[in-house]
Structure 1
Amino acid sequence: MNFGPLLSLHFTLRILMSSCMKFNKYFKLWFTNSLEQL
């Protein structure tokens, strides 16, 4: 079996997940800040 594509897919998924979590954190911060400014 060739594990090359599987490994690259696994790492791509991990990078996507971490960036999504970071985006969620920043979005929550921005959302609460804009709510307080209203």
Structure 2
Amino acid sequence: MSGSENAAEDFWILFFKRFKKHTLFTTNSTTFAIKRLKNLF
């Protein structure tokens, strides 16, 4: 019982780590794109 609970916990920890990384990457890309657009105009 506790073994599967630990597995689920590990899954969520990994999921949130990946999600945070992805969100950070997307935010950086968006900021970069906006800067590029501002330079164009």
TM-score (norm 1): 0.78
Structure 2's unaligned 5+ residue stretches are 35-41
TM-score, structure 2 normalization = 0.74
- After superposing on structure 2, the runs of 4+ consecutive aligned residues of structure 1 that deviate more than 3 Å are none
The unaligned stretches of length 5 or more in structure 1 are none
Identity %: 9
Structure with the bigger percentage of helix = 2
Aligned residues: 34
Q: Larger Cα Rg: Structure 1 or Structure 2?
A: 2
